[in-house]
Amino acid sequence: MRFQLTEDQRALQAGVRELLTRRFGREQLRAAVDAPNLDRALWRELGEAGFFALRLPEADGGVGLGLPEAVLAFEEAGRALLPGPLVATHLAAGEVPGAATGECVVAAVDGTLVEWLDEADTVRGDVTGAVAMRSADPLTPLHRVPRGASADPVAALLTAAEQLGSAARTCEAAVQHARAREQFGQPIGAFQAVKHLCAEMLVRVEVARVAVYAAAVTADPLDIAAAGLLADEAAERGARDCLQVHGGMGFTWESDVHLHLKRAWVRARRGHGAADAEEALAEHLLSPAAR
Amino acid sequence: MDLAYTPEEEEFRARLREWLGKVLPTLPPKPSPDDWPARRAYDLGWQRMLYDAGYAGLHWPVDAGGRRATPTQHLIFLEETEKAGAPYVGANFVGLLHAGPTIAAEGTAEQRARWLPPVLRGEEVWCQGFSEPDAGSDLAALRTRAWRDGDDYVVSGSKIWTSHAEVADWCELLVRTDPRAPKHRGISWLAMPMDAPGITVRPLRTLAGSTEFAEVFLDEVRVPVANRVGPENDGWRVTMVTLSFERGTAFVGEVVACRRVLGELAREARKNGRWDDPVLRRRLGRLNAEFRALWRLTQWNVGESERTGGVPGIGGSVFKLRYSHARQELYDTAADVLGPESLDLSADWTLDRLSSLSYTIAAGTSQIQRNIVAERILGLPKGR
Ligand SMILES: Cc1cc2nc3c(=O)[nH]c(=O)nc-3n(C[C@H](O)[C@H](O)[C@H](O)COP(=O)(O)OP(=O)(O)OC[C@H]3O[C@@H](n4cnc5c(N)ncnc54)[C@H](O)[C@@H]3O)c2cc1C
């Protein structure tokens, strides 16, 4: 047993991070907030890099990798706050023509919400009666649908991976700020109240990380349910604590913290949410298999 | 990334299971928690059985009497023994989990030969004499003095919260050998025989009613200079090695135990009707997620130590921090499942709930662990 990233997986992680830093860095992120349209060129570039076709067999023109690699890529997308129906398009690769290459943007009903309905070329699921919302997340247009669709466990896992990336990023941002910002003649990171917030952020990230990675290896629905709960917690609480560490600046539109928090909220509402995951994990405790 | 065990690892597991199935039914009944001599005998007896079967010191280096098993095999050992309901390390805790590994890493050849085999064979029990009345979290404020007299150190001072002191043969003792040096220098790590003249052990009663730990008074106790592990005045560095072992591997078996307890708790709730409460069910479900993740974290840490080799890193603080709180949440949830019965001191649940309260204090409090994570992992500045 070697529960560690392989060299190839590290290289993949670094490659995706490099691509996203170059193509969707801070400036592009803020530009997207001002004009929230889907960047089709970026979408195709992601397609070329294999983001959507990552798990498609090579015989079908895919990259032929597995869930662990997909999880690493989605973690990076979460870090970068990359907008768009990434999960839906990824899941459609090989089934919807053009999804694998990023030429076709695919949206899907997930729980009772649809993200990016108006921008999508194809929509999966029943969207009759869809009503547009004023989305809390400036980077994710949302519609409510009357008939919800049950979520795919893989969608839940990739969402958890995005949450993990976002949690890791807000932890880093909080630590950077805590080192730089001075009050009372010293960096605020020297104050224990701040230090302990940051330490708890890291602990939540590390716990979510192993849960998400393990679920990617086993693809077990219960592992995925657990990963979702821990990754939601890490992302939502991490963003809140990051906001707190940033003080008044954290409460501004200018800082990126709210973007992480709002996206974390959107992701946490995908699929069935926490209650179903907790019920499934509770039920499993009674099964003979759990002993 | 891989969670599959190799054929060799699976074979190791199968042989261990078979052995456990044979020997566990032959064990004598567990002694009562307050009968310390009986507990000592029981724990040492179990250690001897492990030794005879070749399972002692699995993760220790061969020249320290160990088996040079891989960290993964050690993990399997801890998982299987716990699943089979084998005895806990108990009184052997300090010797096996931190004094021993510290001597293996820092001791001389003679020191390894003198102290390690008896620990593995279940002949000697160790205790940890670090904390003092005025030096707990601020361990380096310790004042117990040792001065040279010929080939001996003469030690005076006092230690507190010393677990198993009553039945220990040896104590890993921190003393100040240079009172003029800065706080973290001038400390030395000694192996002190607990039967030396001048040692008085006064048991302390814990909130659970037991005598888990003790106060140890040292009045001009003579300890041979040859018992010093590491150079004189370099004891703080040696201590860091000890603490990393304490936080690194000490809790692995317990996570497995907590997962078992959680299953028992769910079945208990099903029996007494509390299962129908969705709020409680969801709490149990969340705890399941929590302990699954903590198990994954141990597997990850094992993978990491296999990659880097040697002493576990400060990642142990991340684990200890989360685990100690999860364990308390587990037993608080148990109290909600059991209702008024959770107030009955004759139930194991109640005693376990009480003892879970020590987890955020012992082996470095949660506040201290947060400082470690923030300063040494995240690189935040030290507070003044
Ligand atoms: C069951 C049990 C068994 C033990 N066994 C042993 C043993 O075998 N050998 C041994 O040597 N010791 C042992 N200990 C001692 C243990 O390591 C200490 O209790 C622990 O390190 C805390 O020290 P203290 O009790 O002096 O508390 P203090 O250090 O006085 O702490 C009191 C409170 O102040 C907080 N605090 C202190 N300093 C800071 C800081 N810098 N920042 C923020 N908060 C702070 C603490 O977190 C805590 O909440 C044991 C303790 C227990 C409970």
Q: What confidence tens digit (pLDDT) does each residue in B69-123 have?
A: 888 998 999 999 999 999 988 999 999 988 998 999 999 999 999 999 999 999 9
pLDDT at A177: 98
Neighbours of A129 (CB within 10 A): 10
pLDDT at B302: 87
- Report the amino acid identity of residue A213: Y
Task: List, for residues B353-369, the tens digit of each pLDDT value.
Answer: 999 999 999 989 999 99
Split at pLDDT 50, 70, 90, the class of B312 is low
Distance B318 CA to ligand 1 centre (A): 18
Task: List, for residues A174-196, the tens digit of each pLDDT value.
Answer: 999 999 999 999 999 999 999 99
Q: Give the up-direction half-sphere exposure of residue B82: CA atoms within 13 A in the CB hemisphere.
A: 20
pLDDT at residue B310 tops 70:
no
pLDDT at residue B176 tops 90:
yes
- Chain-centroid distance of CA B54 in Å reads 22
- Look at ligand 1, atom 16, and give the residue with the nearest C-alpha: B362
The reply to whether residue A218 touches residue B6, judged by beta carbons under 8 angstroms, is no
pLDDT: which is higher, B209 or A202: A202
The reply to whether residue A175 touches residue B266, judged by beta carbons under 8 angstroms, is no
The alpha carbon of residue A253 is apart from the nearest alpha carbon of chain B, in Å, by 27
Residue A257: both structure tokens together:
């913290």
User: pLDDT exceeding 90 applies to what percent of chain A?
Assistant: 92
For A156, phi then psi, to 5°, come to -60, -40
Split at pLDDT 50, 70, 90, the class of A290 is low
Per-chain mean pLDDT for chain A: 96
The reply to whether residue B296 touches residue A210, judged by beta carbons under 8 angstroms, is yes
pLDDT at B247: 59
Name which of B3, B296, B380 is nearest A211 (Cβ-Cβ).
B296
Split at pLDDT 50, 70, 90, the class of B313 is low
Q: Is the CB of B246 under 6 A from ligand 1?
A: no
pLDDT at B98: 86
Residue B230: both structure tokens together:
């590491």
Task: List, for residues B34-72, the tens digit of each pLDDT value.
Answer: 888 999 999 999 999 999 999 998 888 888 888 888 889
pLDDT: which is higher, B316 or B38: B38
Q: Give the up-direction half-sphere exposure of residue B204: CA atoms within 13 A in the CB hemisphere.
A: 15
Alpha-carbon distance of A182 to A192, in angstroms, equals 14
pLDDT at residue A103 tops 80:
yes
Chain A residue with minimum CA distance to B268: A286
pLDDT at residue B319 tops 70:
yes
Distance B35 CA to ligand 1 centre (A): 26
The alpha carbon of residue A260 is apart from the nearest alpha carbon of chain B, in Å, by 20
pLDDT at B32: 86
User: ipTM score here?
Assistant: 0.94
Q: Is the CB of B227 under 6 A from ligand 1?
A: no
pLDDT at A114: 96
Q: Give the up-direction half-sphere exposure of residue B303: CA atoms within 13 A in the CB hemisphere.
A: 19
The alpha carbon of residue B69 is apart from the nearest alpha carbon of chain A, in Å, by 14
pLDDT at B384: 64
> Which chain A residues have a beta carbon less than 8 Å from that of B367?
192, 196
Split at pLDDT 50, 70, 90, the class of A250 is very high
Name which of A5, A191, A198 is nearest B378 (Cβ-Cβ).
A198
Name which of B3, B278, B380 is nearest A218 (Cβ-Cβ).
B3
Angle between helices B278-308 and B71-83 (to 10 degrees): 150
pLDDT: which is higher, B309 or B359: B359
> Which chain B residues have a beta carbon less than 8 Å from that of A13?
none
Q: Is the CB of B140 under 6 A from ligand 1?
A: no
The reply to whether residue A210 touches residue B302, judged by beta carbons under 8 angstroms, is no
Task: List, for residues B187-204, the tens digit of each pLDDT value.
Answer: 999 999 999 999 999 999
Name which of B1, B282, B321 is nearest A68 (Cβ-Cβ).
B1
Ligand 1, closest atom to CA B130?
11
Task: List, for residues A46-83, the tens digit of each pLDDT value.
Answer: 999 999 999 999 999 999 999 999 999 999 999 999 99
pLDDT at B251: 80
Q: Is the CB of B128 under 6 A from ligand 1?
A: yes
Distance B107 CA to ligand 1 centre (A): 27
pLDDT at B209: 87
The reply to whether residue A278 touches residue B289, judged by beta carbons under 8 angstroms, is yes
Alpha-carbon distance of A210 to B328, in angstroms, equals 22
Alpha-carbon distance of A245 to A175, in angstroms, equals 9
Task: List, for residues A151-173, the tens digit of each pLDDT value.
Answer: 789 999 999 999 999 999 999 99
Q: What is the CA radius of gyration of chain A?
A: 19
User: Which of the residues B124, B246, B254, B290 is marked catalytic?
Assistant: B246
Chain A residue with minimum CA distance to B265: A285
For a mutational test of ligand 1's pocket, the pick from B98, B127, B128, B131, i.e. the residue with the most ligand atoms closer than 8 A to its C-beta, is B131
Ligand 1, closest atom to CA B212?
1
Distance B360 CA to ligand 1 centre (A): 9
For a mutational test of ligand 1's pocket, the pick from B137, B187, B317, i.e. the residue with the most ligand atoms closer than 8 A to its C-beta, is B137
pLDDT at residue A111 tops 60:
yes
Alpha-carbon distance of B99 to B111, in angstroms, equals 12
For a mutational test of ligand 1's pocket, the pick from B125, B144, B161, i.e. the residue with the most ligand atoms closer than 8 A to its C-beta, is B161
pLDDT at A150: 76
b/e map B211-239, b = 16+ CB within 10 Å: bbbbbbbbeebbbeeebbbbebbbbbebb
Q: 0.90 cut: is pTM over it?
A: yes
Chain A residue with minimum CA distance to B321: A203
> Which chain B residues have a beta carbon less than 8 Å from that of A278?
281-283, 285-286, 289
Q: Is the CB of B163 under 6 A from ligand 1?
A: yes
- The top-scoring range by mean pLDDT among B231-240, B294-303, B328-337 is B328-337
Q: Is B246 one of the annotated active-site residues of the chain?
A: yes
The reply to whether residue A199 touches residue B289, judged by beta carbons under 8 angstroms, is no
Over residues B276-280, mean pLDDT: 98
Sheet order of strands, A131-132 included = A122-124, A106-115, A142-149, A131-132
pLDDT at residue B249 tops 70:
no
Alpha-carbon distance of B47 to B31, in angstroms, equals 16
The reply to whether residue A282 touches residue B267, judged by beta carbons under 8 angstroms, is no
Q: Give the up-direction half-sphere exposure of residue A38: CA atoms within 13 A in the CB hemisphere.
A: 23
pLDDT at B54: 95
Split at pLDDT 50, 70, 90, the class of A13 is very high
The alpha carbon of residue B263 is apart from the nearest alpha carbon of chain A, in Å, by 5
